[in-house]
Amino acid sequence: MTLSFFDQFMSPTYLGIPLMALALTLPWILYPTPSARWLNNRFLALQGWFINRFTQQLLLPLSLGGHKWAALLTSLMIFLITLNMLGLLPYTFTPTTQLSLNLGLAVPLWLATVLIGMRNQPTHALGHLLPEGTPGPLIPVLIIIETISLFIRPLALGVRLTANLTAGHLLIQLIATAAFVLLPLMPMVAILTSTVLVLLTLLEVAVAMIQAYVFVLLLSLYLQENV
């Protein structure tokens, strides 16, 4: 039983072919493409309003140089939210519970922000490694600490997203199993457990959206430091 709880995090295969690619292409299939008409349907209008509001909120702290990343960051936000939300449906697989996928998204984007900073303003980028007014004996230690903290950033991005989604899915499965086992033995306790399960599912919907937003927000803050 203990091992079966973690089976949901295994990458599904069909005839020996991994279905991770299919799960990653689902968000692009679900969203309709905007048309050239003046009046669109309600879903397209809501989709456009959400993208505009999020892009405005995201670009607020960024300088003009960071506005080039608007399309990439907005697309990444919608992509992560869709993957996280689809993973809450029964008999589905959540690709963002895989640390390899999250690191595959975090490391190249973080590295791009660092390279942009080193190319555009190398003195300012290297200045982050040593705070102003540092005493002389502490300079080597602080440089090592700041360098380690810089390289930990993509790891923290990937681990945060993976850990939050994995913990939520495990809690839902544990409580659902408890409610199923308690139903013939103690029906009232099973009803209370089911109520907790519904509330936890609503919480997981919020966590799925918040974690995608936090992932993109931290990337935008890293970008702001280097543009």
Give the distance, in angstroms, between the CA of residue 63 and the centroid of all CA atoms in the same chain. Answer: 23
Q: How confident is the model at residue 7 (pLDDT cuts 50, 70, 90)?
A: low
Return phi, psi of residue 13, to 5°.
-130, 150
Return phi, psi of residue 14, to 5°.
-135, 115
Q: How far is it, in rounded angstroms, from Cα 196 to Cα 129?
A: 47
Residue with tokens 């640390």: 99
Element (H, E) at 18: strand 17-18
Mean pLDDT for the chain overall: 84
Q: How confident is the model at residue 10 (pLDDT cuts 50, 70, 90)?
A: confident
Could you read off the pLDDT of 31-42 as tens digits, one per residue? 777 677 776 777
- Specify the pTM: 0.83
Q: What is the pLDDT of residue 159?
A: 92
Amino acid identity of residue 89, one-letter, is: L
Burial class from Cβ neighbours inside 10 Å (0-12, 13-18, 19+) for residue 9 reads: middle
Where do the structural domains in the chain lie, given as residue ranges?
7-226
Element (H, E) at 14: strand 13-14
In this model, does residue 1 exceed pLDDT 50? no
Could you read off the pLDDT of 70-100 as tens digits, one per residue? 888 988 998 999 999 988 888 888 888 888 8
